[in-house]
Amino acid sequence: MLSEQGSWQPTLITSGIVIVLSVWSLYAFSAAGLIVNLPLTRLALILITFLYLARGIAGLFLITSPMGRSPEFWVWSSVICMLFGIVHLIGLQQQWASL
């Protein structure tokens, strides 16, 4: 609705999310050995994994008070975040010795 009114807010928020997720993917690629080693990779991946898992769990508690979002949004986005968190956790465990 805001974008229909000509607001830049949705674009800025989405751009911020894209930048954060892109940086997070660079750290995952770095840990996997696909790109150059980035600084603080171990710490970054611990925090990224924690944030994905925390968002996945927290979102399930927001189903009953959705804060302007539908319950379906909270369920699906929580499932997606949990899956990303689990994949990151597995990868972190596999690569821990080489980080």
Tens digits of residue pLDDT in 49-88: 999 999 999 998 888 877 888 889 999 999 999 999 999 9
DSSP strand E in the chain: where? Answer: none
pLDDT at 36 over 90: yes
pTM of the model: 0.87
Q: Please report, for residues 5, 14, 25, 70, the alpha-carbon distance to residue 88 in angstroms, rounded to integers and kept in the order given.
A: 38, 23, 10, 27
pLDDT > 70 fraction of the chain, expressed in percent and rounded: 100
* Domain positions in the chain: 9-98
* pLDDT at residue number 64: 81
**Residue 67 burial by Cβ neighbours in a 10 Å radius (0-12, 13-18, 19+):** exposed
* pLDDT at residue number 34: 95
CA 41/CA 27 separation, integer angstroms? 6
Pull the structure tokens for residue 70.
């539908």
pLDDT digits (tens, 9 = 90+) for 48-57: 999 999 999 9
Output 15 or 62, whichever has higher pLDDT. 15
